[in-house]
Structure 1
């Protein structure tokens, strides 16, 4: 019976080289897996929540509710797994928050919501609704600030034409966006006195813009040999082109040989959308640029690339224009990783001192010390195959595991030393000491696993976050038992 129970230890004693190869293989492959693990602040967990947002410029809250929200709610109420729906409206915008049951696949729910919305006819001037998941991994990891002694519109053009494209090409960057609604906007300010002078109304101005400021497909032209696609090139390319648009109708009736231009009855300004958010950098007006990483990418590595990219872009910016990092969440991840590394090193040193003090044997102390990297680094291999990332929860599990993984080794090693002190040779002491303490070590490790493994199966959103924590510490303890 004892031979079967301790078969692995017998093989390790009979073939010590094989045991060392297994230990170093765990360390080597675990180190490779560590280099490929994604690093993030939080686990990749999708909350069972979807948010739907709709913008309709200038619409009153009552109109948003009647024409948009009520119609969307009637469509979305039939989505499978919907637990709660909350709506809110304001001037020109509306939002609907959908909470689903915890067992509902949020990606499938997202697709079903998008399908339901696509079947709904919206007013022509309403922007298509946007649907987003709630995931901490999708939050911006960095915010940049761009400011200088030039108009805000020129700052936006500079960011849109140069900075955003450069940063988007960096490895691991998922999305680069300008905070707030900073799109270019041409404003037409009609002069009521001049409109009356020409016997026109604002509707005539609007119709002129709709007729002449347009570009689109116009079919195709074919003959017996060739076929060519046609399109209407009517979109004005500049504010001056807008000012030169002819007003050819009055109250719906055509004005023949009209030479009335838009500039005769209105002023055209080139600017940006209405300010809904103001950004100040060092007390100066500027614009903010958000950086989102790709899901599963190494947060720290992406942050380092962005910082290097910002430094390179700054050298090419005109004098007086500054691009700087205002917020960097990757530093929290760096601090957590550095703290774990320090804890690992400190625990190894303290464990070595304690083992040396009580055992007084260098080889025995070395065996205990090697159990720490074998168990901890070997755990990285398991995390890699389970598609986990290094985040606050996995690092917390590793930090707790560091103080536990040496328990089995010390327990087994102390019993082997006791048998050796009785006069047995090394092989007999190792064999008898391991067999005698096998069930005690197994019981100790099983007790630890019994405490932390159920954490991985907690229900709800909190359970999804602690899943990686429970699996991490369980894997480390299991490897420590095998190593012992």
Structure 2
């Protein structure tokens, strides 16, 4: 066998190659993103089309039927499901895994745009979302205080803390839950509307038209040019009382004559509790190409930094840590992997009854396992429980081949051959059989890596890791 003869005749070159593979493998391992599960991207697009005030029957007739006909021209669609709800149409489109999702998003937008003129004018613009199972919060934080009010906590979370967490590298979105949203309520008095003969639509139009800032034009001089802007944005709640709703001759009817304004908070759409007390929750979601463990560590460091600057009696706590969970899961798999390798070496010693043979056989394990990380990194996989499961399975196969080769070399030495000759002859005798065993295992696992559908996406890291480990 070429490889065995090369290693026997040029041992220093073989050692250098092995060390180079191990060093490259360690560098690849250092660059691997660490996640609990494989990054499986489902080829699913969700289209939500708001149609305020419409019944489900109207939504189906006016929107879904027309949009579905246009979407049928898109290629690569595996399945399409539509749901008509009160004031909203939802279309879930599942594509084949070979479909480029960026192109799919553009095709869906173009298909909807082609029939936009047929859709109701009251309909709002469609919203496209990618269905990503990994887009779940990796960290849940709770902001509570014994000195600040709920409104002050809400402003602190919305205006300060959320922006600081969004600035972390690897963070995609930061959602604030249970916070109070400032809202200015205009409470119309029916008797005043009748008295001044003003409709609700006129009040709404007046608020829209007189609470705006817009460019008007430009004034060009001999040497300069200046822009003119209409500054009409209302800055304080008291200014709403002076909004002109209607004019009747010399009489001016203002909003303060028709309604009362209240500066308060909107109705809570979400509620956060911590130890039975209301607080403000912050949910941090990582970006798709970021590591769960690395991002969680950065968030944890920022939490410790923020707690040093918060007012007395106010604290920010981590209530759910996905980074710790991922680390614990991977640590359990790693411990099982190391324990299995140690137990394998012990079994080898029991049957060979030679520390020398056991040590030589065991040296094949770190070489193949560490070098396999090169293939994991090149394939773009993360270090997750599926890749570690593949390594644990490969250990048994690797040690099996090493035992067979080593035992045959020992047999040749017992027949009187020197070590170099025994290594060459013993490897040649069974080299073809060992190679056939290795390639048989690769032939079994490679098709698993190319299975279609979700199962193939999940098992691809596992299968390719096993194949790479055995091949090395």
- What is the TM-score normalised by the length of structure 1? 0.88
Secondary structure of the residue aligned to 1:378 is: helix
In 2, Cα distance between the equivalents of 1:88 and 1:280?
33
Structure 1 range deviating more: 123-132 or 296-305: 123-132
Residue of structure 2 equivalent to 1:389: 382
Could you report, residue by residue, the CA deviation over 1:462-483 in whole angstroms, capped at 9, with x for unpaired residues? 112211211111111111xxxx
Asked whether the equivalents of residues 50 and 133 of structure 1 are also in contact (C-alpha less than 8 Å), the reply is yes
The counterpart of 1:132, out of the listed 129, 133, 153, is 129
Residue of structure 1 equivalent to 2:93: 98
Structure 1 range deviating more: 330-339 or 405-414: 330-339
Residue of structure 2 equivalent to 1:373: 366
Residue 186 in structure 1 maps to residue 181 in structure 2: no
Could you report, residue by residue, the CA deviation over 1:384-435 in whole angstroms, capped at 9, with x for unpaired residues? 1111111232222122222222221111111111111222111011111111
In 1, Cα distance between the equivalents of 2:151 and 2:120?
30
Residue of structure 2 equivalent to 1:364: 357
Secondary structure of the residue aligned to 2:244 is: coil
In 2, Cα distance between the equivalents of 1:224 and 1:363?
94
The counterpart of 2:443, out of the listed 447, 450, 472, is 450
Residue of structure 1 equivalent to 2:316: 323
Secondary structure of the residue aligned to 1:439 is: helix
Residue of structure 2 equivalent to 1:467: 460
TM-aligned CA distance change 1:74 to 1:155, over 3 Å: farther
In 1, Cα distance between the equivalents of 2:389 and 2:173?
29
Secondary structure of the residue aligned to 2:460 is: helix
Residue of structure 1 equivalent to 2:47: 52
Residue of structure 1 equivalent to 2:242: 244
Secondary structure of the residue aligned to 2:46 is: strand
The counterpart of 2:429, out of the listed 405, 430, 436, is 436
TM-aligned CA distance change 1:94 to 1:325, over 3 Å: farther
In 1, Cα distance between the equivalents of 2:162 and 2:215?
30
Residue 28 in structure 1 maps to residue 23 in structure 2: yes
- What is the TM-score normalised by the length of structure 2? 0.90
Residue 343 in structure 1 maps to residue 349 in structure 2: no
Residue of structure 2 equivalent to 1:146: 143
Secondary structure of the residue aligned to 1:39 is: coil
In 2, Cα distance between the equivalents of 1:67 and 1:163?
43
Structure 1 range deviating more: 122-131 or 203-212: 122-131
Residue of structure 2 equivalent to 1:233: 231
Shift of 1:26: 1.7
TM-aligned CA distance change 1:288 to 1:58, over 3 Å: farther
Could you report, residue by residue, the CA deviation over 1:242-266 in whole angstroms, capped at 9, with x for unpaired residues? 333222x2xxxx3355554323322
Residue 170 in structure 1 maps to residue 165 in structure 2: no
Could you report, residue by residue, the CA deviation over 1:421-452 in whole angstroms, capped at 9, with x for unpaired residues? 22211101111111111012112222322332
Residue 223 in structure 1 maps to residue 218 in structure 2: no
TM-aligned CA distance change 1:184 to 1:18, over 3 Å: farther
TM-aligned CA distance change 1:338 to 1:355, over 3 Å: same
TM-aligned CA distance change 1:192 to 1:276, over 3 Å: same
The counterpart of 2:258, out of the listed 248, 258, 265, is 265
Shift of 1:128: 3.3
In 1, Cα distance between the equivalents of 2:152 and 2:256?
24
Structure 1 range deviating more: 91-100 or 426-435: 91-100
TM-aligned CA distance change 1:113 to 1:368, over 3 Å: same
Asked whether the equivalents of residues 210 and 233 of structure 2 are also in contact (C-alpha less than 8 Å), the reply is yes
Residue of structure 2 equivalent to 1:482: none
Asked whether the equivalents of residues 176 and 280 of structure 2 are also in contact (C-alpha less than 8 Å), the reply is yes
Secondary structure of the residue aligned to 1:104 is: coil
TM-aligned CA distance change 1:158 to 1:58, over 3 Å: farther
Unaligned runs of 5+ in 2: none
Structure 1 range deviating more: 189-198 or 173-182: 173-182
In 1, Cα distance between the equivalents of 2:233 and 2:59?
30
Could you report, residue by residue, the CA deviation over 1:210-247 in whole angstroms, capped at 9, with x for unpaired residues? 22111222232223322223332212223233333222
Shift of 1:123: 6.5
Residue of structure 2 equivalent to 1:10: 5
Shift of 1:66: 4.9
Structure 1 range deviating more: 45-54 or 348-357: 348-357
TM-aligned CA distance change 1:326 to 1:128, over 3 Å: farther
Residue 288 in structure 1 maps to residue 281 in structure 2: yes
Asked whether the equivalents of residues 51 and 95 of structure 1 are also in contact (C-alpha less than 8 Å), the reply is yes
Asked whether the equivalents of residues 401 and 476 of structure 1 are also in contact (C-alpha less than 8 Å), the reply is yes
Asked whether the equivalents of residues 175 and 292 of structure 1 are also in contact (C-alpha less than 8 Å), the reply is yes
Residue of structure 2 equivalent to 1:214: 212
In 2, Cα distance between the equivalents of 1:432 and 1:236?
92
